[in-house]
């Protein structure tokens, strides 16, 4: 099932998720460095990494929702996508709470609660990331129909299956009917 929102021939949602994932994880890493060094500069960087990660996560969610709405009902992909999306909303909420708890401190130092919320968010994010991988790698969500190892460039505007030999396309159709 192809993604409904693409940029230069590639699905937008997977392009965007790397930013919030990286920023939120980096925020937690800077918290750990702060705890080890007691240098407030790391808390400020963590605070802004988390803020940017939350914004990026919400932006990625919009494109993920568009793709999820186009998955056929009653499929395993629809259910996996639902848990992926709900879990990622929980991740964003946990980090938003962690960020809000830091907001009152001029150095943005995390309280124990703020740090634990971020750690839980990272743990849930690992599970939802796996679910996202399941959607793409196992269930083919966001993958061009007819994708294969010799498909033409997505920038060419030519469908992925167009340079596949006729007998390969026919065989794929037959396998799909089984």
pLDDT digits (tens, 9 = 90+) for 106-117: 889 999 999 999
In sequence order, what E strands does the chain have? 6-7, 10-11
In angstroms, the CA 156 to CA 90 distance is 39
Token pair for residue 39?
């240098």
Q: Which residues pair with 150 in a beta bridge?
A: none
What is the arithmetic mean of pLDDT over 61-89?
95
**pLDDT tens, position by position, 94-147:** 999 999 999 988 889 999 999 999 999 999 999 999 999 999 888 888 887 777
In angstroms, the CA 102 to CA 27 distance is 12
Cα three-residue angle 81-86-87, rounded to 5 degrees: 95
State whether residue 4 is helix, strand or coil: coil
What is the per-residue pLDDT for 156?
A: 78
What is the per-residue pLDDT for 165?
A: 57
In angstroms, the CA 8 to CA 87 distance is 29
């Amino acid at each position: 099932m192809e993604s409904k929102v693409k940029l230069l021939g590639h699905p937008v949602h997977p392009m965007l998720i790397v930013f919030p994932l990286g920023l939120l994880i980096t925020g937690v890493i800077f918290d750990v460095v702060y705890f080890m060094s007691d240098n407030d500069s790391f808390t400020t960087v963590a605070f802004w990494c988390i803020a940017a990660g939350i914004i990026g996560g919400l932006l990625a969610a919009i494109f993920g929702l568009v793709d999820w709405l186009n998955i056929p009902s009653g499929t395993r992909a629809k259910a996996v996508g639902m848990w992926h999306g709900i879990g990622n909303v929980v991740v964003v909420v946990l980090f938003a709470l962690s960020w809000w708890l830091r907001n009152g401190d001029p150095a943005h130092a995390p309280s124990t609660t703020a740090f634990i919320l971020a750690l839980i968010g990272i743990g849930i994010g690992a599970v939802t990331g796996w679910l996202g991988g399941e959607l793409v790698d196992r269930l083919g969500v966001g993958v061009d129909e007819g994708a294969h190892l010799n498909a033409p460039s997505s920038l060419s505007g030519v469908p992925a299956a167009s340079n596949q030999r006729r007998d390969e396309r026919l065989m794929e159709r037959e396998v799909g009917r089984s």
